[in-house]
Amino acid sequence: MERIKVGTSRTYEIHIEEGLLGRVAEECSAVLKSEKLLLLTDSNVKPLYGDVVCRSLTDAGYRVTEYVIPAGEDSKNTEQYLNIVSTLAKEGFSRSDAIIALGGGVVGDLAGFCASSYLRGIPFVQIPTTLLACVDSSVGGKTAVNLPEGKNLLGAFYQPSLVLIDPLTLKTLNPAVYADGMAEVIKYGMIRDPELFTALENHVWTDTQIITRCVSIKSQVVAEDEFDNGCRLLLNYGHTIGHAVEKCSRFEVSHGSAVAIGMSVMARAEEDGADLADRLDAVLKDYGLPTACKFSTEELYRAAMADKKRRNQTLHIITVPTLGQGTVVSIPVEELNTYLRKGLSV
Ligand SMILES: NC(=O)c1ccc[n+]([C@@H]2O[C@H](COP(=O)([O-])OP(=O)(O)OC[C@H]3O[C@@H](n4cnc5c(N)ncnc54)[C@H](O)[C@@H]3O)[C@@H](O)[C@H]2O)c1
Ligand SMILES: [Zn+2]
């Protein structure tokens, strides 16, 4: 089994192994002192993996309350949040009881925010079942729900007690959802890891190897900058333009596809970057991701200007002048136009 330690304010481990789902109780009992557990999952994941996890936990003597949300981003809302914390209160959950998040980033973000705030914080364990949740959302302690005014506006930094990844769960993913996570995987290769990038080009690594490498990179970055004031910005490669694409499309273009387009534009805008941009586009296409969109420079610029990552008049963007060497660059917002024009004109 792969074990990765995350050195944040609360240190915890990420365990990665095929078949881990059947041993969830054993793993949890090493870090939790709970009697009661709330197993939060969604309507797609419940019929696939809910029973095996629930059985493992109840057989080990935990009193498990299952809470199933409708699958999809719309469930990451304050109404679900309040219903879940009310359920915890009605069931008499104490500060040593815990929440288990079984699902993708929606379930993980919602469960994490409930755990961060109920009784001012109770333990939670992440069991991510999408590629994006394995390599991104379950690592790093960002938890949130959406408000009608925007995504992830109500949240907290709150680290889990443990993350359990069973790569076999990815076998049932819809290919488009798998591709979405792959955009983040390719991002890690671009910003930090030429070996990972080359392995992706050649299709020579298993899901377990890919996840292990990405989780190592993210946990290092997060340990260095837990509260997102410095190098964690690196993880935003392709995201400034990606968010603009998502907005312009009224969220019809998925996050992973939008980030793929954002990375491709940034790579094309790089001085002397044509070779790397060609390699990036080939990998993105290979994994079913787009490299272009129908929006104009002006439309994307206007959408990016409204992005929350803009701080005063300075924008932090990520460039990759050489494979594996992502760099945070501060530019005046207007200069984003130059990147967009260069990146989109090729
Ligand atoms: N906390 C963070 O740092 C962070 C980082 C990135 C994204 N996010 C958040 O993550 C969310 C997106 O996560 P996501 O892409 O995992 O979406 P998701 O949770 O909606 O999952 C995508 C779809 O896959 C289904 N699914 C999940 N696991 C499955 C499996 N093993 N087999 C078959 N179907 C399965 C889900 O039911 C859903 O329909 C967004 O809300 C985003 O804001 C958070
Ligand atoms: Zn992302």
Domains (range + CATH), the chain: 2-172 (3.40.50.1970), 175-345 (1.20.1090.10)
Query: Strand 98-103 relative to strand 36-42: parallel, antiparallel, unpaired?
Result: parallel
Is 116 in contact with 141 (CB distance < 8 Å)?
no
Beta carbons within 10 angstroms of residue 264's beta carbon: 25
pLDDT at residue 273, rounded to an integer: 84
CA 123 to CA 324: how far, in whole Å? 35
Is 240 in contact with 307 (CB distance < 8 Å)?
yes
Q: Is the dihedral of CA 240, 181, 146, 32 positive or negative?
A: negative
Query: Strand 150-157 relative to strand 2-6: parallel, antiparallel, unpaired?
Result: unpaired
Ligand 1, atom 44: closest residue by C-alpha:
137
Residue 228: burial class (beta carbons within 10 Å; 0-12, 13-18, 19+)? middle
pLDDT at residue 154, rounded to an integer: 98
pLDDT at residue 306, rounded to an integer: 77
Confirm or reject: Cβ of 166 under 6 Å from ligand 1: no
In this prediction the pTM is 0.95
Indicate which atom in ligand 1 lies nearest the CA of residue 151.
Answer: 43
Rounding to the nearest 10 degrees, give the CA dihedral for residues 182, 51, 112, 20. Answer: -60
Beta carbons within 10 angstroms of residue 225's beta carbon: 17
Residue 90: burial class (beta carbons within 10 Å; 0-12, 13-18, 19+)? exposed
Is 144 in contact with 109 (CB distance < 8 Å)?
yes
How close is the Cα of 330 to the center of ligand 1, in Å? 31
Query: Strand 314-319 relative to strand 150-157: parallel, antiparallel, unpaired?
Result: unpaired
How close is the Cα of 11 to the center of ligand 2, in Å? 24
How close is the Cα of 130 to the center of ligand 2, in Å? 13
**Cα dist. 101→34, 123, 189, 332 in Å?**
15, 11, 27, 40
3-class SS of residue 5: strand
Confirm or reject: Cβ of 238 under 6 Å from ligand 1: no
Residue spans of the chain under pLDDT 50: 308
Indicate which atom in ligand 1 lies nearest the CA of residue 72.
Answer: 20
pLDDT at residue 309, rounded to an integer: 53
Confirm or reject: Cβ of 140 under 6 Å from ligand 1: yes
How close is the Cα of 134 to the center of ligand 2, in Å? 12
Query: Strand 310-311 relative to strand 327-332: parallel, antiparallel, unpaired?
Result: unpaired
Residue 117: burial class (beta carbons within 10 Å; 0-12, 13-18, 19+)? middle
Confirm or reject: Cβ of 262 under 6 Å from ligand 1: no
pLDDT at residue 307, rounded to an integer: 56
Confirm or reject: Cβ of 180 under 6 Å from ligand 1: yes
Per-residue tokens: 122: 């109770």
Is 214 in contact with 132 (CB distance < 8 Å)?
no
Query: Strand 150-157 relative to strand 142-147: parallel, antiparallel, unpaired?
Result: antiparallel
Strands (E), 158-248: 162-165
**Cα dist. 31→34, 54, 98, 216, 308 in Å?**
9, 18, 11, 21, 36
